[in-house]
């Protein structure tokens, strides 16, 4: 997921050492852009989250995320049709709720999302795979999500606010869904530089705006 203008990612460096005790050289992968068939596929379930192949993919995804300046990345975005997501939520993007929290760098294998209620809210999103554009997207306000870690253990969290939005955005990539496909009103979609100068449009698309840069993508 791409953040919005103003937020500075250099304050939140990614440290893969918290995930890998032994690391090889990583590779920066090419980002797939809207229109590429890999972004339209339902990604395959990872059969062995603890395998060396899975760890290799994750290492390269983390290097690519660091290079891109984004907050999250799904494997299909780097031309790998597997159900893998990496993301983090910096403190600067959190709200007041206890479940709209900052989160450390997280690797999710085969994640699943359960909406907690039917309430949705609008807010702006951008994406590494949809460069230079942004749109206001309705998302479930509160969710529970589960995943498998690289060591085979299970993780679970409850999320709301931007935390919830980021997880939903990234997991959509695993089902061949880009954020414009979730939009209800295409008046709230446009080039980032133009939208940010349109105060009335920004207000219409999200009542609780926080500054974010084009370089950050909920990817």
12-205 fold:
Peptide Deformylase (3.90.45)
Better pLDDT: 194 or 20: 194
Q: Return the pLDDT at 215.
A: 46
Site of tokens 């500075």: 8
CB 210 within 8 A of CB 8: no
Give the model's confidence band at 219: pLDDT under 50 very low, under 70 low, under 90 confident, else very high. low
Q: Return the pLDDT at 211.
A: 44
Examine the pLDDT at 2 and tell me if it is beyond 80.
no
Give the model's confidence band at 1: pLDDT under 50 very low, under 70 low, under 90 confident, else very high. confident
pLDDT (average), residues 152-159: 98
pLDDT tens for 201-217 read: 999 998 454 444 444 44
Label residue 11 exposed, middle or buried (CB < 10 Å: 0-12, 13-18, 19+).
exposed
DSSP 88: E
pLDDT tens for 16-74 read: 555 554 455 679 999 999 999 999 999 999 999 999 999 999 999 999 999 999 999 99
Euclidean distance between CA atoms 47 and 44, whole angstroms: 9
**Segments of the chain assigned E as strands:** 72-74, 84-89, 103-115, 120-127, 130-140, 142-148, 154-160, 189-191
Examine the pLDDT at 168 and tell me if it is beyond 80.
yes
CB 82 within 8 A of CB 75: yes
Q: Give me the chain's average pLDDT, please.
A: 88
Examine the pLDDT at 98 and tell me if it is beyond 60.
yes
Q: Is 170 tagged catalytic?
A: yes
Identify the active-site residue in 63, 170, 194, 216: 170
**Domains of the chain by residue range:** 12-205
């Amino acid at each position: 997921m791409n953040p919005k203008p103003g937020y500075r990612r250099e304050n939140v460096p990614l440290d893969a050492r918290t995930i890998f005790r032994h690391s090889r050289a990583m590779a920066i992968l090419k980002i797939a852009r809207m229109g590429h068939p890999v972004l339209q596929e339902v990604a395959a379930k990872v059969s062995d989250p603890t395998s060396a192949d899975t760890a290799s993919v994750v290492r390269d995804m983390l290097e690519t995320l660091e290079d891109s300046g984004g907050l999250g990345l799904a494997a299909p975005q780097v031309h790998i049709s597997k159900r893998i997501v990496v993301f983090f939520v910096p403190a600067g993007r959190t709200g007041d709720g206890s479940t709209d929290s900052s989160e450390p760098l997280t690797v999710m294998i085969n994640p699943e999302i359960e909406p907690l209620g039917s309430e949705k809210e609008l807010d702006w999103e951008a994406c590494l795979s949809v460069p230079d554009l942004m749109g206001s997207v309705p998302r479930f306000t509160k969710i529970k999500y589960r995943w498998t870690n690289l060591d085979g253990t299970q993780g679970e969290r409850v999320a709301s606010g931007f935390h919830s939005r980021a997880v939903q955005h990234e997991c959509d990539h695993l089902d061949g869904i880009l954020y414009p496909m979730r939009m209800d009103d295409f008046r709230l979609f446009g080039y980032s530089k133009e939208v940010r100068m349109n105060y009335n449009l920004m207000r219409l698309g999200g009542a609780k705006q926080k500054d974010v840069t084009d370089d950050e993508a909920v990817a």
